[in-house]
Structure 1
Amino acid sequence: MDYDGLLYRSLNPLYARQPLSGEGAARFGGRFNPKGTPTLYTALTVATAIREANQVGDLQPTTLVAYRAKITNLFDGREEAALARYDMTSKTLADPAWRETMRKGGRSLTQDFALALIAAGHPGLLVRSFARGARPDDLNIVLWRWTGKGARLTVVDDETRLA
């Protein structure tokens, strides 16, 4: 599937001056990226972006960034038949145990799934949000590639506030 529109990301202020780096996710790993894989976790709405960035504990300081996105060949993680081609299910996508598996030194099934999608040439994944309080229609786009062929992401910063 293709996406052309705005995306939102709620950043730790430490990374506010590098909104296109993906290094925070690479450093710590995430549901859809093992450690060492730069990834941007974006959302289709501001509220979802804030929920995603504050999944543990209380609301923490955050920098909200908007992006203009034009991305082709996204994998649609809402389609059960497409998931099944990768031996994945929506139930496994939602499994909160991914973090514990990663902490024990392994990779979660969702991280292995992400690596398979990357190998198949998908720059990213459209998937529902699994953050606390998210509704089934709260959606994220997880990006492993956001520049180059089929993927263009630019920060909305018309007033150069991040400079």
Structure 2
Amino acid sequence: MRLRHGRYTGPLFRALNPVYARTPLSGHGAALFGGRFNPKGTPALYTALDPATALREAHQVGSLQPTILVSYTADLGPIFDTGDELALKRYGVTPALLADAAWRSRMLDHQTVPTQDLARRLSADGFNGLLVRSFAKGAAASDMNLVLWAWTDGAGSLIVVDDEDRLSRM
């Protein structure tokens, strides 16, 4: 892990729908559909600490679709570490709640989604994101995601690695 004193420094990866390739920092797709850690209407960047995890995350439902793999260099914080069980307890959360697969059906039924509530509380407490294991099919316990609710304006830096400006030509 590259999480020290609540900051993440290192590479991050996202597997983007090509529709969003020109705006890899927008969080628009997550805002449209909602996610485990963001309700509909709230932008978020779901990133992974390695490329394989990013691909698994992007293709959890259905067949492999066209994808753009993007890498970033990051220095972001403060980040909540869900691997810290004491910190989870302070928020009344268990690892089982983080892994609960029913979040999507709850969201679609307009019910409370505990992981989205956790994200709201963490954001209100000044966290810009959280480090959490991947729950995608085939992911190992060591496959990690960094979910961000804030990645500009004081959160640190998140820079797309695109030395040849390829994404603007998509």
Matched residue count: 163
Note the C-alpha offset of 1:59: 1.2
Note the C-alpha offset of 1:137: 0.2
Q: CA RMSD in A?
A: 0.8
* In the alignment, structure 1 residue 115 sits paired with structure 2 residue 120: yes
Q: Secondary structure at the match of 1:125?
A: strand
Q: How does 1:8-157 map to 2 (within 5 A)?
A: 8-157=13-162
Give TM-score scaled by structure 1 length: 0.98
Distance (whole Å) between structure 2 residues aligned to residue 160 and residue 150 of structure 1: 24
Q: Secondary structure at the match of 2:15?
A: strand
Q: Secondary structure at the match of 1:51?
A: helix
* Structure 2: runs of 5 or more not aligned: 1-5
Say if 1:26 and 1:39, in contact at 8 Å, map to a contact too: yes
Note the C-alpha offset of 1:73: 1.3
2:166: which partner in 1?
Answer: 161
Distance (whole Å) between structure 1 residues aligned to residue 33 and residue 155 of structure 2: 27
User: Where do 4+ consecutive residues of structure 1 move more than 4 Å?
Assistant: none
Distance (whole Å) between structure 2 residues aligned to residue 15 and residue 114 of structure 1: 24
Q: Secondary structure at the match of 1:100?
A: helix
Say if 1:40 and 1:143, in contact at 8 Å, map to a contact too: yes
Distance (whole Å) between structure 2 residues aligned to residue 31 and residue 72 of structure 1: 20
Assess, with a 3 A threshold, how the Cα gap between structure 1 residues 2 and 36 changes in structure 2: closer, same or farther. same
* In the alignment, structure 1 residue 4 sits paired with structure 2 residue 9: yes
Distance (whole Å) between structure 1 residues aligned to residue 156 and residue 102 of structure 2: 31
Note the C-alpha offset of 1:106: 2.4
1:81-109 CA-to-partner distances (Å, cap 9, x unmatched) read 11111111100000000000000012310
